[in-house]
Structure 1
């Protein structure tokens, strides 16, 4: 969903802070009612019409990515400001290189210290990178190879996951959110070969994935309730919540259970067993 009125307000605000004397060919003599650049000047410097700038500022037009880049250059925007405008106008932010698949030191430290709840770390393609000790005890240690088998979308759409969602609307929201996340990541990393191969394989294996991809699903994956089939404890009903980690564009998936429930007791028992296994002999 576009937020063009907010975009227009920022455009007006940010052109007011630009000093006309920064541009040699602009006429700066005489009195000026505008503290920064006039609309006509922004239009000239950005190679668009003044009427178009007016419609942008009024929230009545959505700029192309090319126009957005020209405006960012004219207004001398910081990278974070440019990215914010991309978000408001519904444009993806293409990033150089491929998807980050390494856990940084800050994230690794956080993962080690969150030892009271099961946690998993995923990259931007929803490929598992690592569990903390309790997460591994709950979900099982992943295979050391076969990265695709550790991808949440691949396991879900090829029916190889060990975590089944509750039936109904929630499951439909979950699968749509996975597809939306993958599309957004692909738009930011169009040259990532591993991601391209994953998407090609998903389209080949899952008509449902292709259906959702073509539908333009846009819901982001934020939470899910499901049942994990544990080999010792049996079914464990959990709520999983997504936390975004800026370091390396990673995602933490934190598993919890309803306080006081039988499932919370199972997680507590699992924590005890996991701690006992880590104690020195």
Structure 2
């Protein structure tokens, strides 16, 4: 009979090998025969006995408690995905994050700061706009003039339009395909953050305002194609067609939304005209 695979032990040994004493604030020691932390060092950081860690790594113990797994994940400095994997190989359900993150990852912020000539917006998993480039504001209207609640795409798409102003997202967001894809993505978010009260309130509000949303929410559909070709009408250049891409950053659960034009096209010329005009004056909000 073949020996059962020791997934938990293999994972722990691999992660232990990549961590150095400097990574965890331990004093450096003489040259080591193997890379990474010693077993007794990891055990100390995780608050468990060296013997127990040995048994976990050798596969003689394969069902650690949730507290032990959480301690090992912290000591090993695991990413979100790695922490989920550790729970799975330990026979546990991965932890559920309490709330949707609304912080901008530093790497994403650096990317956005370098994309000033491209309309780029970064959204949370609940589709609230977190940050944007100057070209996003020039093309779609300045989000800084709106309240945080008005910067949520879900409300803008499904709630009744306000009489007090023009929409902040004037692109072709009303197509059935886009709405269905958006709701699929929202259901994924709901499954990932079942305890987020703000998100639940958002869904309840849209449920109460939109029969279309209620029907889509109850429809068991998979797949979420949020990008594609979009069309908008800008006050300076008229109709402009753009390619829309949605990039997800899993560890921080944000969505990077970009609008670009086909090189050499009249739409690229229009987008460039909008960029130049934005440097000279404040544009009115697009009317859709």
Asked if Structure 1 and Structure 2 have the same fold, meaning a TM-score greater than 0.5 normalized by the shorter chain, the answer is yes
Per the alignment, residue 97 of structure 2 pairs with 95
Mean alpha-carbon deviation: is it higher for 108-117 or for 79-88?
79-88
Query: Aligned pair 1:164/2:172, yes or no?
Result: yes
- Residues 166 and 145 (structure 1), Cα distance of their counterparts in 2 relative to 1, 3 Å cut: closer
Q: Are 1:37 and 2:40 counterparts? A: no
| RMSD of Structure 2 on Structure 1 (CA) | 3.9
> 1:139-173 CA deviation, whole Å, 9 max, x = no partner?
00126443332211221223644111596xxx42x
1:199 is aligned to 203
Cα distance change on mapping 1:93 and 1:257 into 2, 3 Å: farther
Please name the residue that 2:191 is paired with: 187
| Cα distance per residue 1:161-190 (max 9 Å; x no partner) | 4111596xxx42x22221122222233333
**Residue of structure 2 equivalent to 1:119:** 120
In the alignment, the residues of structure 2 paired with residue 134 and residue 100 of structure 1 have an alpha-carbon distance, to the nearest angstrom, of: 25
Give the conservation status (yes or no) of the 8 Å contact 1:176–1:219.
Answer: no
Check if 1:14 corresponds to 2:18: no
Structure-2 separation of matches of 1:230 and 1:145: 19
Answer whether contact 2:125 2:254 (CA < 8 A) is retained: yes
- Structure 1 unpaired stretches of 5+: 1-10, 27-34, 47-68
Q: For structure 2, which runs of at least 5 residues remain unmatched after alignment?
A: 14-49, 162-168, 283-288
Change (3 A) 1:260 1:159: farther
Q: Secondary structure of the equivalent of 1:177?
A: helix
- Bigger mean CA deviation after superposition, 214-223 or 233-242: 214-223
Q: What is the alpha-carbon distance in structure 2 between the residues aligned to residue 158 and residue 86 of structure 1?
A: 39
1:107 corresponding residue in structure 2: 108
Q: Tell me if the contact between 2:118 and 2:136 (Cα under 8 Å) persists in the aligned partners.
A: yes
> TM-score, length-normalised on structure 1?
0.65
Aligned residue-pair number: 228
Contact kept? 1:177, 1:220, Cα under 8 Å: yes
Q: Tell me the TM-score normalised to structure 2 length.
A: 0.64
Q: Does the CA-based 8 Å contact 2:157-2:173 persist in structure 1?
A: no
1:195 Cα deviation (Å)?
1.3
| 1:267 matches 2:260 | no
Secondary structure, aligned partner of 2:259: strand
